[in-house]
Amino acid sequence: MSTNSPDPIVAVLPAGNDFDVAAAEAIVKVLVTAIEDRGQCLIALSGGNTPRGAYRKLADLLTARAVDLDRVHLLFVDERMVPPDDPESNYRMVRSELIARVSPNLHVHRIRGEIEAHEAAGDYETELESLLRGFDGRCDLIVLGVGEDGHTASLFPGTDVVGERERRVGAVFVPRLASWRVTLTLPVLNRARTVLFLVSGERKTAIVGEIFAGDAPREDLPASLVHPESGTVTWMLDAEAASELPSEV
């Protein structure tokens, strides 16, 4: 993977508990450091299945370490256009694994999946813009996943939102899923101080190998376009997802 940004850090961990604990520890570390350095923290979390266990561990760590969640703002990387109680809702997943298990002082900014996608994207853009003013325009941490087709967030290959360079939030129709999503865009992802990819399982082996084998970022592999100009990127992989990493990584 070759870009002008620093090389990503790659960490390979045993699947399951070790992976979840390492991911949760990495998130807490960024969060605590941001609070120490700047008095507050802005994080954006992805949905999907991979981070579920990590979010649960994160809730335990935040409580055990008495992190002051009044100083933490939680954003969503993307959302499906469903009500917040729908089993497909990313908000619902993060609420049950994390939000409901920690102090209610945490500031939660959800994407309104229950309304029309463009309207939800416009509302979130407005909310994000005012929030980012208090954070130097940058998220402290964005947690991302990767799909087997190379999508990250809801930046799916072949969709216009992958090329978005102005707006921070986009509405996107994903033909393969026959449904709309709302997603943060590359201008937000690539301004983050820290990006943490969480990827596990043998279904991800081929795409991880392809992303790391490439010489340059590729529009048809949106995850390869995430390279914050002045931030760090860590790929946390389990052994299966990492099994086709090129040997030089």
Of 43, 77, 81, 245, the one binding ligand 6PG by CB under 6 A: 77
Taking Cα atoms as reference points, which of 38, 78, 29 lies closest to residue 58?
29
Q: Is 187 in the site for ligand 6PG (CB under 6 A)?
A: no
Distance, CA of 231 to CA of 215 (rounded, Å): 20
| Min separation Cβ 155 and ligand 6PG, Å | 8
Query: Which listed range, 22-30, 35-43, 48-56, 232-240, lies at the site for ligand 6PG (CB under 6 A)?
Result: 48-56
13, 197 Cβ separation under 8 angstroms: no
Edge-to-edge strand list for the sheet holding 107-108: 9-13, 232-238, 194-199, 141-144, 41-45, 72-76, 107-108
Tokens read off for 116:
């029309």
Between 50 and 205, CB nearer to ligand 6PG = 50
Q: Is 46 in the site for ligand 6PG (CB under 6 A)?
A: yes
Q: Is 84 in the site for ligand 6PG (CB under 6 A)?
A: no
Q: Is 49 in the site for ligand 6PG (CB under 6 A)?
A: yes
What is the 3 state secondary structure string of 112-162? CCCCCHHHHHHHHHHHHHHHHHCCCCCCCEEEECCCCCCCECCECCCCHHH
Q: Is 157 in the site for ligand 6PG (CB under 6 A)?
A: no
Distance, CA of 138 to CA of 160 (rounded, Å): 23
Can you tell me which residue has the tokens 């850090």? 9
Of 1, 30, 72, 78, the one binding ligand 6PG by CB under 6 A: 78
Of 48, 157, 187, 217, the one binding ligand 6PG by CB under 6 A: 48
Between 147 and 231, CB nearer to ligand 6PG = 147
The count of residues interacting with ligand 6PG (CB under 6 A) is 14
Q: Is 205 in the site for ligand 6PG (CB under 6 A)?
A: no
Distance, CA of 128 to CA of 188 (rounded, Å): 10
Q: Is 153 in the site for ligand 6PG (CB under 6 A)?
A: yes
Amino acid at 100: A
Between 67 and 182, CB nearer to ligand 6PG = 182
Q: Is 222 in the site for ligand 6PG (CB under 6 A)?
A: no
Contact residues for ligand 6PG (CB under 6 A)? 46-50, 77-78, 90, 145-147, 151-153
